[in-house]
């Protein structure tokens, strides 16, 4: 699948999102964009998604150890992208609790509940070894299904809605973003956006960014045969 498919639909969504008469088309376009950056079952795609391509032929070992030019593993990239989506869609857009809870943390094996932006490359590699890949993928799919539901229920008036200081501070209170210089900027960044802006970035584009980063990590791994993680 070429990146042009995503780019063309993103350009179209940006061109029509202010037009109330095209709101249904905008929602369907965003749902399609989102489905491209999750496994195909999330958006019921009839074709392989970008994430399907990432997992195909990737072993659990390589997902935890192969790194891209930034020193990031596939495990880190997919968990980080999932956390960002969970946080922004639930805590900000829907104003409801995030999906990640103590049970999910225990299943995934993550020692942190935040986005992981503050991890050094050495810490990132150690962190990746702790993660249960099957649980990570299950969590990511749960996040994806939830986002599809929330996007499908949006009203046109929601798109221009911004986030109060209380809601933004709630991100820190929920331990979703670490109070660390390498992480805190996220809340300020989101605070400058409205709901439409969050849909464009991070809900769709940020996922693609980390899928592409993860594909570059995968490319540096030794050649491997397909496994049950394909």
CA atoms 106, 148, 159, 212: torsion sign: positive
Band (223; pLDDT cuts 50, 70, 90): low
CA gap 26, 17 in Å, rounded: 6
Band (3; pLDDT cuts 50, 70, 90): confident
Of the candidates 9, 11, 15, the one whose C-alpha atom is nearest the C-alpha of residue 29 is 9
Measured in degrees and rounded to the nearest 5, phi and psi for residue 25 equal -65, -40
For the CA atoms of the chain, what is the radius of gyration? 17
Question: What pTM value is reported for the model?
Answer: 0.95
CATH of domain 3-219: 1.20.120.450
Average predicted confidence (pLDDT) for the chain: 95
Band (225; pLDDT cuts 50, 70, 90): very low
pLDDT greater at residue 222 or residue 10? 10
The string of pLDDT tens digits covering residues 103-149 is 999 999 999 999 999 999 999 999 999 999 999 999 999 999 999 99
C-alpha distances in Å from residue 96, one per residue of 15, 30, 82, 86, 167:
29, 21, 16, 10, 10
Domain ranges of the chain: 3-219
Of the candidates 59, 53, 60, 15, the one whose C-alpha atom is nearest the C-alpha of residue 37 is 53
Mean of the pLDDT values across residues 89-116? 98
CA gap 31, 85 in Å, rounded: 14
The tally of CA atoms less than 13 A away on the side-chain side of residue 224 is 20
């Amino acid at each position: 699948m070429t990146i042009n498919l995503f780019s063309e639909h993103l350009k179209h969504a940006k061109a029509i999102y202010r037009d109330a008469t095209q709101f249904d088309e905008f929602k369907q376009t965003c749902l399609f964009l989102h489905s491209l950056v999750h496994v195909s079952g999330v958006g019921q795609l009839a074709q392989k998604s970008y994430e399907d391509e990432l997992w195909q032929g990737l072993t659990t070992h390589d997902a935890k150890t192969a790194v891209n030019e930034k020193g990031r593993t596939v495990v880190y990239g997919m968990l980080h992208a999932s956390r960002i989506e969970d946080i922004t869609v639930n805590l900000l857009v829907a104003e409801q609790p995030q999906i990640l809870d103590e049970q999910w943390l225990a299943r995934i094996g993550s020692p942190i509940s935040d986005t992981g932006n503050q991890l050094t490359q050495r810490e990132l590699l150690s962190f990746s070894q702790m993660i249960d890949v099957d649980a990570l993928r299950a969590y990511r799919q749960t996040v994806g299904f939830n986002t599809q539901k929330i996007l499908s229920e949006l009203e046109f008036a929601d798109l221009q809605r911004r986030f109060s200081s209380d809601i933004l501070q709630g991100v820190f209170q929920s331990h979703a973003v670490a109070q660390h210089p390498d992480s805190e900027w996220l809340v300020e960044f989101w605070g400058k956006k409205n709901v439409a802006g969050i849909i464009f970035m991070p809900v769709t584009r940020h996922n693609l960014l980390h899928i592409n980063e993860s594909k570059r990590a995968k490319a540096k791994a030794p050649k491997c045969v397909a496994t049950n993680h394909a």
